[in-house]
Structure 1
Amino acid sequence: MNINCKGQLLDLKTPKVMGILNLTPDSFFDGGEYLTEKNILLQTEKMLHEGATFVDVGAYSSRPDAQHISEEEELKRIVPIINLLVKKFPEIILSIDTFRSKVAKETVEAGAAMINDISGGSLDEKMFTTVAKLQVPYILMHMKGTPQTMKTENHYQHMLQEIVLYFSEKVKQLRELKVNDVIIDPGFGFAKNTPQNFELMNHLSFLNSLDLPMLVGISRKSMIYKSLNIQPQEALNGTTFLNTVSLLAGVKILRVHDVKEAAECVELYQQLKN
Structure 2
Amino acid sequence: MLAALVRQGLEASQEISCQIASLRSFDEETASDARRIGARIGRFLGDRSTAPGPAAREERVERVALRRARLARQIAAAYVDVRRLQQDVAIRSALRNQFRDNAEVAQFRREAGLVPALDGALARSQDEVAQGELGFAQGRLEDAVGELARLVGERPEALAARLAPPLPLTDPPVDPLAMAQADDPRRAKLADQILREARLGQALAESRRTVRDARSAYRGGAGSFATLYVAEAAANAVELALLDARAGRIAATLDLWAGQDRDWAREGLAPVVGTHPPATAETITVMAACD
* TM-score calculated relative to the size of structure 1: 0.22
Give 1 or 2 for the bigger CA radius of gyration: 2
| Structure with more relative contact order (C-alpha pairs < 8 Å, separation 6 or more) | 2
Q: Which has the higher strand share?
A: 1
Higher helix share: 2
**TM-score with structure 2 length normalisation?**
0.21
